[in-house]
Amino acid sequence: MTSDSSLRMLSHLLQTCRTERSLLLMTSLLLLMYFFIMDIVLYMTLQSTKLVDQEKTSTYSPFHPLSVKLLMTAPTNHYVISLTTEYFDEYTQLSKIFYFITPNMISATHLALGFLSGKFVASESLRRRRIGVLIFELRLWLDVYDGVVYRSHKGFHGYRSNRRNLGFVVDTVCDTTSGIALCFGVLFFLWKFQVQKNQTTSLPFTKSSENGTALSTDVEKPYQQKYPRNHIFYKVLCFGLMLALTGMTFDKTTEAFGRLFNTKMETSLEEDQQTEALHTLTTWVVFYCWRLIEAQAMLQYLLLAIFLDKTWEFICFIQYSGYGMLFLVNVMSQLQIRNVRHLLRMASTDYV
């Protein structure tokens, strides 16, 4: 009887894993197709757009008005989070009806959600860790929504940062602290899990017991050596520092490109060179690389790894490869910035 019950439980777990795997695969394919189609439309729109003096529209569009920051924003933020926050506020008029709700109040709320998410992510239960992922996704949604509320209160249009505003500092501090809380949640989980050297896990899910606790598919060998805590801490620290470095270089790069493409040129020749540089394939490739590795994209990759119960594998993969990708994209960006500056300088000299 006990053997039959175990077989039924194992069969149920396998069937659940197959269902989850199929559902995840279908969702991923649909999402990738959606991103691919939207990126094509974005590229085509960019080819007929100047970032200077764009006409303002009464309704929100993910393709107009465009800005350098929007062009370099992760697809998940651009086509899902920003889209839903803008339409949510447009149809509910929440920022106008509840005018007393300030962007800083929303920032404080998503900061609290960041701490709550970190607590759930640190759990040994896979189910609770997945709840933590959903909580952090809500935090990311509110992080974008506070910008929507700010622009609504100020009557601004366009997706860009106002670094001279106190709200930008508050939002940056809340974002940084929430990211740290998530990283600590990952660290505490890995400490509890006591990762084994040369450990292998099944893809894409680790089976779970009925109470949501992860069950290892590997048989633990006696006296199997485990990674020390300081080794795990070092790996998580590498990811956290890479996340911070990505955020800082992203801000500096968007500011540099913004000065090139959002500045009104004095002569028609300079304006033509500015537009031509914006529409080149090289500029689009640089922008698109940033869309794939910027800090929000990296957070989404980590959240996906947590949801799939592949946190350790992702941390190990990104530990050094992430720095390599960030270095390469920064080099590409600086070369393109120098090239555009040179073209504009030559256009100015030719005009004189």
Instruction: Give which of 15, 42, 213 is closest to 129, Cα–Cα.
Output: 213
Question: 142, 188 in Cβ contact below 8 A?
Answer: no
Residue 115 has pLDDT above 90, yes or no: yes
Instruction: Give me the chain's average pLDDT, please.
Output: 84
Q: What is the mean pLDDT of residues 327-352?
A: 86
Taking residues 63-70, report their average pLDDT.
Answer: 90
The least confident of 64-68, 110-114, 131-135 is: 64-68
At residue 64, the pLDDT reads 86
At 156, the pLDDT band (50, 70, 90 cuts) reads low
- Provide the percentage of residues in the chain whose pLDDT is more than 70: 80
CA distance linking residue 281 with residue 283, whole number of Å: 5
pLDDT given at position 184: 96
Radius of gyration of the chain (CA): 23
User: pLDDT at position 210, please?
Assistant: 41
Residue 59 pLDDT: 78
For residue 104, the tally of other CB atoms under 10 A from its CB is 16
More confident residue, 205 or 276: 276
pLDDT of residue 147: 87
pLDDT at 211: 46
**Least-confidence region, from 6-20, 50-64, 197-211:** 197-211
Assign 330 a pLDDT band (cuts: 50, 70, 90): very high
pLDDT band at residue 98 under the 50/70/90 scheme? confident
Domains identified in the chain and CATH numbers = 67-193+227-351 (1.20.120.1760)
Phi, psi angles (nearest 5°) of residue 193: -70, -25
Neighbours of 106 (CB within 10 A): 23
Per-residue model confidence as pLDDT tens digits over 193-245: 766 665 544 333 344 444 444 444 343 444 456 788 899 999 999 999 999 99
**207 or 251: which leads in pLDDT:** 251
